[in-house]
A and B are shown apart, each in its own frame.
Chain A
């Protein structure tokens, strides 16, 4: 072990209060494992928002449909990276596919991920864009012409019958996709919720709490992106769309909060062996990230803002501003939720007699910088995707050149 790492662990030893088992000084799942559930949560949430249009026929949400799909795709492409970087032996990661232990919740990651990427998301996006890709390719010059032809997998059929089939296929995929999105993120919750050794994680509600917070973060992020993208394009925002989505967001936050409150009250009321140390944990090391960031800033204030925006007859601009603040706060809140689960669960000893510290490195492979880069990457991917795949249907783009609505977008990372 190198001297620097030893020194780092020695410093952590100073932060220990009470008794911990000696092997517990090292924090095993750091910031990257916080990023991972946050990213998959956005995927699941964005997809579920997209499904609103296709399965539940919520027409108002249509303007965000393609944006939501592309958001889901760009985050899904990044999702395995934090896990890969965090492995002790990344080059052996293929073992998960080759010799999976079928009893292991984590072994299912590769299969759930592959299914969701290839069985659901890419397929739905392809059917959604196929007709447009063919039509765009016909009017373009190389190299975009080649790119779009290749992306349409060289299909050429733009007949009415083909378009009808596309629609049917999308509906079928969405219907399969919703439980798949639930699986993708509920399963991440199960990875934590099934660890009986850890009372902070071990909860049957964990997959459902993960799922609801995923829906919250996904919807909020799509709202954020929709507002940024329309602003960059200097287009008017569809306020009916925004009002409808934020209503869903409001209910999702309420359900998410209720579930987390239930979990909290349940633990407090049952008052098991671990209750004392968990009490010390949340009133001490987790106070800022749990009560201030997650609950106050990430839930109560956005809820109040949303209520305010709905109840009072504010004009469009003020509502936009309120919504925008609310969705940013919600992102902060959901990221804190992930932090509190992943890091919080490793800050107390399994002897229930002491608390440990966590010192995040900045530069290292599992450091803050890596996490920021990983969180920025989906936005870069999204910007590229939006250049190739317009977020508006061709028949929606009134007049002008075909690609008018697809100016380069550089959302803030």
Chain B
């Protein structure tokens, strides 16, 4: 090895070593975070979800994954997330079905004499409102907003009065028939605090759902909000949802 080769090696070695070291630290850190919840600081995150309407193919995998992941009762009356199908006919009338309820709508294009003008799927879930009516009305504080922007239900404290279910403009809540307490989407809180994605986002084959941290500049959600025209559901109610829809149609409520 001559002097020139040695110096070349040094130039590569030191940055590469530094990089490997940093990567090792990252990996260790990530693993530590996954192993111990104590390392998770909610104040450093602020979660939200983006939904790109045009990418949703109505496959219902998110609904199935959610039910499995979160022990949501299998009966078709309880959903933490569901998918709606909209068809707008030429006369402007919209027909809506929930494709997540068997028998109440199918994935096949239905026979219809009227010509369909446009049609699309809309996944729905708890909007994790920044100004949540459900939290306001809960008489015992069993449902609450966390620092990382998720609305949670403490099923050890919930008395089952169902005021929160009445107060939710999106009907995202249901009464769990097993626990007799209110239940709803929590962005798979047990997963996201370990750095994993919510189950529905994980399984979505078209990446119609984008999960991310609004406090992180590098998050996919921040990019999603930069690249798309964004709308939220029922903005007039001032609930300030954190589920952001791209290409949302005016017919969707």
Contacts and interface: CB of A to CB of B under 8 A. Distances in A.
B170 A88 contact: no
B136 A104 contact: yes
A22 B77 contact: yes
B137 A104 contact: yes
Nearest to B140: A95
Interface stretch (B3-11, B176-184, B205-213): B176-184
Given A101-B141, A352-B253, A22 B76 contact: yes
B133 A196 contact: yes
Given A23-B174, A88-B180, A99 B169 contact: no
27 contacts: A1-B73, A1-B75, A1-B178, A5-B177, A6-B75, A21-B124, A22-B98, A23-B77, A26-B174, A83-B161, A88-B160, A92-B157, A92-B160, A95-B142, A95-B159, A96-B140, A96-B159, A101-B141, A104-B141, A105-B137, A106-B163, A196-B169, A196-B237, A197-B168, A197-B169, A351-B171, A351-B253
B172 A23 contact: yes
A92 B182 CA distance: 14
A100 B139 contact: yes
A296 interface: no
Given A9-B75, A88-B158, A351-B96, 17 more contacts: A13-B101, A19-B95, A22-B76, A87-B159, A89-B160, A90-B159, A92-B140, A92-B158, A92-B159, A92-B160, A100-B140, A104-B139, A105-B137, A194-B137, A197-B166, A197-B237, A350-B253
A48 B120 CA distance: 57
A109 B76 contact: no
Contacts of B137: 103-106, 194-195
A25 B174 CA distance: 10
B175 A28 contact: yes
A198 interface: yes
A103 B98 contact: no
B169 A19 contact: no
B187 interface: no
A105 B133 CA distance: 12
A66 B195 CA distance: 67
Contacts of B180: 88-89
B159 A22 contact: no
A22 B160 CA distance: 20
Given A88-B158, A93-B159, A99-B141, A26 B77 contact: yes
A28 B166 contact: yes
Interface string B95-122: 1111011011000000000000000000
B167 interface: yes
Q: Among A19, A23, A28, find the residue whose CB has the most chain B CB atoms closer than 10 A.
A: A23
A19 B84 CA distance: 10
A273 to B, nearest CB: 8
Interface residues of A, number: 48
Among B77, B133, B141, B157: residue with most chain A CB under 10 A: B77
Contacts of B124: 21
Nearest to A18: B96
Interface in A93-131: 93, 95-96, 99-101, 103-107, 109
B51 interface: no
A84 to B, nearest CB: 10
User: Which 7 residue pairs across A and B have the least CB separation, nearest first?
Assistant: A88-B160, A88-B180, A197-B169, A21-B171, A1-B177, A107-B139, A19-B96
Contact of A88 (B73, B84, B96, B175): B175
Given A95-B159, A101-B138, A196-B237, A22 B82 contact: yes
B5 to A, nearest CB: 69
Contacts, number: 142
Interface of A: 1-2, 5-6, 9, 13, 16, 19, 21-26, 28-29, 83, 86-90, 92-93, 95-96, 99-101, 103-107, 109, 191, 194-198, 345-346, 349-353
Most chain B CB neighbours (cut-off 10 Å) among A1, A22, A346, A351 = A22
Contacts of B157: 92, 95, 99
Interface of B: 73, 75-79, 82, 84, 95-98, 100-101, 103-104, 124, 133, 135-142, 157-163, 165-175, 177-181, 237, 253
A2 B179 CA distance: 13
Main secondary structure of the interface of A (DSSP, over half): loop
Nearest to B124: A21
Nearest to A109: B139
B166 A89 contact: no
B79 A22 contact: yes
Contacts of A21: 82, 98, 124, 170-171
B160 A87 contact: yes
A349 B98 CA distance: 13
A25 B175 CA distance: 11
A193 to B, nearest CB: 12
Nearest to B166: A195
Given A96-B140, A99-B141, A197-B237, A106 B161 contact: yes
A92 B142 CA distance: 11
Contacts of B138: 101, 104
B171 A349 contact: yes
A226 to B, nearest CB: 36
Instruction: Give the residue among A13, A100, A101 with the most B Cβ atoms within 10 A.
Output: A101
Contacts of B177: 1-2, 5
Contacts of A107: 139-140
B173 A23 contact: yes
Nearest to B238: A196
A163 to B, nearest CB: 43
B97 A19 contact: yes
Given A5-B177, A101-B139, A198 B171 contact: no
Highest count of chain B CB atoms <10 Å: which of A19, A107, A198: A19
B159 A195 contact: no
A103 B136 contact: yes
